[in-house]
Amino acid sequence: MESNNLLNSVVNEIIDQLKLNTINESLLDSSIYSINAGGKRFRPLLLLQTLETLGTDINLGIIPAASLEMIHTYSLIHDDLPAMDDDQLRRGKPTNHVVFGEATAILAGDNLLTESFNLLTKANLTATQIVELVQLYSKNAGQLGMISGQMLDIEATNKDLTIEELEEIHRNKTGELIVAAIEAATIIANSEAHIKKLLKIFGEKLGLLFQITDDILDVIGTTEALGKTVGSDEKNKKNTYVSLLGLDGAKEVKNNLRSEMFDILNELENDINISILEELVESIVNREK
């Protein structure tokens, strides 16, 4: 899979959707600014890699991947707002509201969320598949997922959490969209029920692995490699896996997750091409930034 080319196609789909007969320049500039601010594009990449794993034409996933990235980006814009986390920088660039003002940032977020569903309806899939994708994205991004995660996160500010409470926040705030990427691929591929079920569990563990790796890197990574200030979690008294379990404890949970994910993939080795997802797990386990 030529990931860079594919991710360019994903981003171009988003830009095309946003530029389509737009009425207001500020809204357009603000929406595109945050899309172009980049990041790892982890969710669209995961969707496409899962499609490849399932032996399905990756091109069918471009629009659904673009739609998911729009939802992710809207959530970052709103999370950064002064009333929320009040962040001035994201990925080394000024946040949306710092550049465009709060009103425009709120509307750009609303816009990306709304247009994500519009774009999704244009996917080259059956109407039934599109309805399933709308249902999946709105469920996992809604009050049973991402939005509740953000609420729980806000309510947890300056409180000491248990490890279960911390996991509930992460499972909702970041995990549900990661699961959505994987489930979307199984919808596009018309996968059998047992494959869907196992890959969903795989996705839930992937979300936690992703977060715990972040928390560990915040402590042991180098500022240069990460592009952000190392130790910021501790400075901000943020509850993390490391603050709750210690560095060794967090690493142990990470290793256990890795083993469990490989066990799931082994169960699927007769059905799908698991090597792509194996590599994905290892790349997260070993990442240094």
Cα distance between residue 247 and residue 241, in whole Å: 8
Buried b (16+ CB within 10 A) or exposed e, 154-171: eebeeeebeeebbbbbbb
Nearer to a second copy, 125 or 274 (CB): 125
Enumerate the β-bridge partners of residue 90: 93
Query: Binding to a second copy by residue 238, rule CB under 8 A?
Result: no
Q: Does 50 bind a second copy (CB under 8 A)?
A: no
- What is the smallest separation between the CB atom of 31 and a second copy, expressed in angstroms? 8
Is residue 21 part of the contact set for a second copy (CB under 8 A)?
Answer: yes
Nearer to a second copy, 23 or 193 (CB): 23
Does 106 contact a second copy by CB under 8 A? yes
Query: Which CB, 78 or 205, lies closer to a second copy?
Result: 78
Shortest CB 211 distance to a second copy, Å: 18
Q: Does 121 bind a second copy (CB under 8 A)?
A: yes
**CA 82 to chain CA mean position, Å:** 22
209 to 69, 88, 183, 281: CA distances (angstroms) = 20, 27, 18, 9
Q: Exactly one of 2, 23, 224, 259 binds a second copy (CB under 8 A); which one?
A: 23
**H or E stretch at 171:** none
Q: Are the CB atoms for 10 and 107 separated by under 8 Å?
A: no
CA distances from 259 to 150, 219, 252, 285 (A): 29, 23, 11, 11
Binding piece for a second copy, criterion CB under 8 A, among 39-47, 87-95, 97-105, 225-233: 97-105
For position 154 contacting a second copy by CB under 8 A, the verdict is yes
For residue 59, give Cα distances in angstroms to 121, 129, 137, 186: 15, 15, 19, 14
For residue 162, the minimal CB distance to a second copy (Å) is: 16
68 or 280: CB nearest a second copy: 68
- Phi then psi for 192, rounded to 5 degrees? -70, 160
Using the minimum distance from each CB to a second copy, give the nearer residue, 147 or 230: 147
- What is the C-alpha R_g of the chain? 19
> Which of 7-15, 143-151, 202-210, 241-249 is the region at the interface with a second copy (rule: CB under 8 A)?
143-151
CA dihedral 7, 9, 12, 13 (to 10 degrees): -110
For the bound state, the minimum distance from the C-beta of residue 262 to a second copy, rounded and expressed in Å, comes to: 30
Binding residues vs a second copy (CB under 8 A): 18, 20-24, 26-28, 31, 74, 78, 81, 83-84, 101-104, 106-107, 109-111, 113-115, 117-118, 120-121, 126-128, 130-131, 134-135, 137-139, 141-144, 147-148, 150-152, 154-155, 172
